[in-house]
Every structure is written in C-alpha cells, then in structure tokens.
Chain A
Amino acid sequence: DGGITQSPKYLFRKEGQNVTLSCEQNLNHDAMYWYRQDPGQGLRLIYYSQIVNDFQKGDIAEGYSVSREKKESFPLTVTSAQKNPTAFYLCASSDSYYGYTFGSGTRLTVV
C-alpha cells in the first residue's frame, strides 16, 4: 500500500535538546511538507520541498530545520532555538493539488 509514514508517534524532548521527526513516503510524490498543529489553531506551514535538494521556509520556520536528500524522505529537526515546540506535527506529500496526503502525525512534548 502506498502511503506516508511518520515516526515516532510520540516524542519527548528535554530542554535544550534537538530532536528529529521522520517522514517517509512511497507515493512517488515530488512535494513534501511539514505542518504544526496547535489546539484551536489551523495547521501552519513550517517548511516545504518541491524537489530533492531544495526546500523553502513556510510561515513558522524559526527554530526548525529540514533536509531533502531523497525523494522519499523529508525529516524535520526541532532545534533548541524553538522555544515552544510542544505540538502535533504533520507531514504531507503531493504530486498535484489533487494528490495531497497526510501522515498520521508525531506528538512532541517538552519535559
């Protein structure tokens, strides 16, 4: 089955620590995205990539970094510079505006 896989499902981060969220897709989609979801707010775009080795900042990129070395993979690193990282993170991919698929999400909590 084609799909998009995020891991881990739950992640705990200590103060000052960097953590990396994984996102893998086997849909052969060119574009991949990272969103952050907070209670009572719409999804907000962190980073997106429309092609391998290229990515663009979204609306809330500060404190985050990404890489796109392979078409299938788009990992997100939440750095210590992100002061309020506790949130639900969603990865998505698309080949056109019709083929927009979300992963099942990673819940990150600062402890």
Chain B
Amino acid sequence: KNQVEQSPQSLIILEGKNCTLQCNYTVSPFSNLRWYKQDTGRGPVSLTIMTFSENTKSNGRYTATLDADTKQSSLHITASQLSDSASYICVVSGVTGTASKLTFGTGTRLQVTL
C-alpha cells in the first residue's frame, strides 16, 4: 500500500531557529515529491517539487532534499519566522499527471514562537 509518513507530528521552535521536517514514503512507482505549506483554514501552497533525479531544491529559506534510494525527503527551514507557523505536507506522486496516484502525508504542524 502506498504510504507517506511525516515526522514529527508537531514542532515548536523559537523565531530565528532552524528546523528540519522528515518525510518517508513507500509509493511505487515514483514520479515526484512535493512539499506544501498550509496555513490554518487555507489551501496548500506549493513550496518545492522534485523528480527522481533531483536531490535538493531550494525556495528562499526552504530547502528540500530527496534520497530516492532510501525513499526519504526532508524540508529544512532556515532562520524561521512567525509566518512560517503552518502545516507542512509531503505529497508523493506515483504516476505522472494522474491525480489518483497522489499520496498525501498527514503533515507536520509547525509553530514558531517569540
């Protein structure tokens, strides 16, 4: 069964600190992995997308890594800001362009405090 597991479930950090969120998946065949940021009561917004051949991708203070051999990804947030408080969702696509093959993680809820 295709699964995406994220850890930790929740995380509290001080403003200005760095953090790393983890995503392990068992989706096969693999097409791409995406990280989304979802503010409370809003739709998810794409941060990064990586294909099999890419092992790192950055979007401002967000850097995602992918190890397709171990089926692991991480999202590193540098110099966190209060506005980073949100849920971060890892999504793995098993087949190019087919919605029914997207598998969603349950998300990591990040809270950045003063």
**Is A58 touching B107 in the complex (CB atoms < 8 A)?**
no
Report the Cα distance A91→B31, complex, angstroms: 22
Residue B46 interfacial (CB < 8 Å): yes
Query: What's the interface size class on B, roughly?
Result: 20 to 34
**A61 nearest CB across to chain B (Å):** 11
**Is A42 touching B42 in the complex (CB atoms < 8 A)?**
no
The secondary structure that dominates the A interface is strand
Question: Count of chain A residues with Cβ under 8 Å from any Cβ of B?
Answer: 28
29 CB contacts below 8 A, A to B, read A31-B97, A31-B99, A40-B106, A42-B4, A42-B103, A42-B106, A43-B104, A44-B104, A45-B100, A48-B99, A48-B100, A58-B100, A90-B43, A92-B43, A94-B97, A96-B97, A97-B31, A97-B49, A97-B93, A97-B96, A97-B97, A100-B34, A102-B36, A102-B43, A102-B44, A102-B45, A103-B43, A104-B42, A107-B41
